[in-house]
Amino acid sequence: MKLKFLTLFSILALAASVFAESAMSNITVNLRYTGKNGAAKKFAEEMVSSGTVAKIRAEKGNIRYEYFQSLDDPETILLIDAWESQAAIDVHHASPMMKTIAKLRDKYDLKMTVERYTPDNTMPKTDEKFIRK
């Protein structure tokens, strides 16, 4: 009986570990596109109107692909791009859509900055009071 308990315990521990690892493997990439004379906004609009954004959102492993315009800098567009794993990002980077994206970035002469994040999933009690749910 003790062996069965340890085996079940081991399976539960492994499952919890795999779940925690998969939850922590999500990657969010913030890309800031900057151009001149509204080029970044035109780039984002063409990404949407060409159907490229819809195709990326339909890719396996994509969680979020959404553009935002800066209130402080109208020449900057923020893309929040989230994926289930680095493997999903690698498949995306190998897809034909990357050629489309590169062509459009060149067309609009955009510069980029990139930041990568993985989830923390913890909220300190001292921060909770500032979050309105």
Of the CA atoms within 13 Å of residue 62, those in its CB half-sphere come to 16
- The domain that contains 115 carries what CATH number? 3.30.70.100
> Distance (Å, rounded) from C-alpha 133 to C-alpha 131?
6
Closest of 94, 38, 30, 101 to residue 66, by C-alpha: 30
CA 125, 117, 23, 20 dihedral sign is negative
Condensed to tens digits (0 to 9), the pLDDT of residues 14-30 reads 434 444 444 458 999 99
Question: For the residues of 72-100, what is the DSSP string, one character each?
Answer: S-TTEEEEEEEES-HHHHHHHHTSTHHHH
Question: Quick one: tokens of 127?
Answer: 């921060």
Of the CA atoms within 13 Å of residue 102, those in its CB half-sphere come to 7
Residues 27/81, Cβ–Cβ less than 8 Å: no
Count structural domains, the chain.
Answer: 1
Residue 132 lies in a domain: no
Residue 12: the pLDDT is: 40
Residue 55 lies in a domain: yes
Residue 72 lies in a domain: yes
Q: Is the pLDDT of residue 95 over 90?
A: yes
For residues 12 and 93, the model is more confident at: 93
Condensed to tens digits (0 to 9), the pLDDT of residues 113-133 reads 999 999 888 888 888 888 888
Residue 6 lies in a domain: no
Condensed to tens digits (0 to 9), the pLDDT of residues 30-76 reads 999 999 999 999 999 999 999 999 999 999 999 999 999 999 999 99
Q: Which amino acid is at 108?
A: Y
Tokens 């995306």 belong to which residue?
A: 92
Which structural domain range is residue 46 located in?
26-119
CA distances to 40, 72, 79, 119 from 68, in Å: 11, 12, 6, 21
Q: Is the pLDDT of residue 13 over 60?
A: no
Residue 125: the pLDDT is: 86
Q: What is the pLDDT of the chain when averaged over all its residues?
A: 86
